[in-house]
Structure 1
Amino acid sequence: MSSRVTTICRDLSELLPAAQTACRLLFQECFKAGIKNIFITETYRSQERQNYLYAQGRTRPGQIVTWTLTSNHKSRLAWDIAVGPPQSLYDVTTLNRVGAIARKLGITWGGDWIGSIDRPHFEVKANWKLPAGYKLEGKLNVPTNSKGQVQLIVEDKKEEIKVTQAWNPGSPAMKTETENFIAQAVKEGIIQESHLKDLQNGTMITDRLIGLYITIQQRRSNK
């Protein structure tokens, strides 16, 4: 017997791009819903292995594990999952929760099939796309055994906020006081006259004005 028929593939990269993205999105949304103890049990499956599994419980001893010879596993569009501790391997409650999330993402869940219910099974069509309002976020760990946990690491991107808007005084009196303050600093030789002109013609920006104030105060205190 060929070892290929008994070897289980759990590699996401063996799936078509649409299925890879759909699987990752499903695990991401499960993580966000608090479901972290699920893991991949099989992705791609050759026709030879599909035939071998189909024979189980029919022409070969064992319990029936598949109902078809044309599974989407061999089309690289399907994946199976299971549940890790403390729940049982195929805990119905957990799989039902995952199935409900899959429906929202446009992913076909075997638990919705009539007659041949297959709760651990998920699949998509080759033209599946990310549904509106969803995206892959950060670095996602998709476990392939019961010892792993789904993890999502999202980097905290803090953007530096720069104040670039023109200075806009709240009143004419404030504008006059500020101009007098800058004009006096020009007379003292602390700053150049160009700063006063920029203030008067409205091209002075707030962060520059604050910098000038600090410079003037520091130089006056050092005299």
Structure 2
Amino acid sequence: MTSVTTTCRDLAELTPAAQTACRLLFQECFKAGIYNIFITETYRSQERQKYLYAQGRTRPGQIVTWTLNSNHKSRLAWDIAVGPPQSLYDVTTLNRVGAIARKLGITWGGDWVGSIDRPHFEVKASWKMPKGYVLGKVIVPSNSKMQVQLIVEDKKEEIKVAQNTNWNPGSPAMKTETENYVAKAVKDGIIQASHLKDLQNGTMTTDRLIGLYITIQQRRTTK
């Protein structure tokens, strides 16, 4: 069981809709010239939410959350921060990201009245990508040492898959290789074992599989 003091930055722990929304936000930030933002938290258990809520109240420290009912626990929210040369929560940068989020139908904590939370972003479970946008392969950093990247491939080699459709390998060999790849990531402690089980029982979606691949590559690069 994960400790309440441990922050989860795994994008694959979000719902498929939230994963897509987050990657689309980072992609559009990249296009706007914002490269130095990164994920600081995705999924948060209720136990961790209670732990954070106690900070500044029954536990020493500054208040960091205003609620016990966060969409982080519903796997629909994520927090970001800003890398060098700006400060960790640079208002100008976060305001720019917030403006992009609005256009994408993503809720930004900076728009909240009273309890403003600029690093926070979330979507409803019914969120869908707005018309006119196409999601490419974007690298979403989980630390300040990396920058947002958009991978542009040769169109001749590009493979288009429908988002949120179940993964359907073209051959038994491909399935075996993919399972071995994910199994190694589980063994290395990069992702949770539940992802491998979903892959094996056929409930893994192509969108989620791509998200897992990006997460695994990113974690191994930073080790």
User: Who wins on radius of gyration, i.e. which is larger?
Assistant: 1
The one of 147, 150, 153 equivalent to 1:149 is 147
Which of structure 1's runs of 4+ aligned residues deviate more than 4 A?
Answer: none
Residues 132 and 65 from structure 1, CA distance in 2 versus in 1: closer, same or farther, beyond 3 angstroms? same
Structure 1: give runs of 5+ residues left out of the alignment.
Answer: 160-223
Give the Cα–Cα distance (whole angstroms) in 2 for the partners of residues 121 and 157 of structure 1. Answer: 35
In the TM superposition, residue 154 of structure 1 has moved relative to its aligned partner by: 1.2
Measured in 2, the distance between the counterparts of 1:10 and 1:117 equals 22
Whole-Å Cα distance in 1 between the matches of residues 62 and 73 of structure 2?
21
Structure 1 residue aligned with 2:19: 20
- State the distance in 1 between where 2:144 and 2:43 align: 19
RMSD: 1.3
Cα distance in 1 between the residues matched to 2:51 and 2:156: 53
Deviation at 1:65, TM superposition (A): 0.2
Alignment coverage as a number of residue pairs: 157
Structure 2: which 5+ residue stretches go unaligned?
Answer: 158-223
Structure 2 counterpart of 1:106: 105
Q: Which amino acid aligns with 2:32?
A: A
- Compare relative contact order (CA 8 Å, sep 6+) and give the higher one, 1 or 2: 2
Paired residue for 1:35?
Answer: 34
- Partner Cα separation in structure 1 for residue 2 and residue 106 of structure 2: 31
Residue 81 of structure 1 and its aligned partner are, at CA, apart by 0.1
Q: How does 1:165-176 map onto structure 2 within 5 Å?
A: none
Same amino acid, percent of matched pairs: 88
User: How far is 1:156 from its partner?
Assistant: 3.3
Q: Partner of 2:85 in structure 1?
A: 86
CA distance in 1, matches of 2:71, 2:8: 14
How far the C-alpha of 1:157 sits from its partner, in A, is 2.1
Match of 1:131 in 2: 130
Cα distance between partner residues in 2 of 1:129 and 1:52: 32
Distance 1:105 1:98 in 2: 11
Residue identity in the other structure for 2:143: N
SS in structure 2 at match of 1:4:
coil
- Deviation per CA, 1:30-77, whole angstroms, max 9, x where unpaired? 000000000000000000000000000000000000000000000000
Amino acid at match of 2:6: T
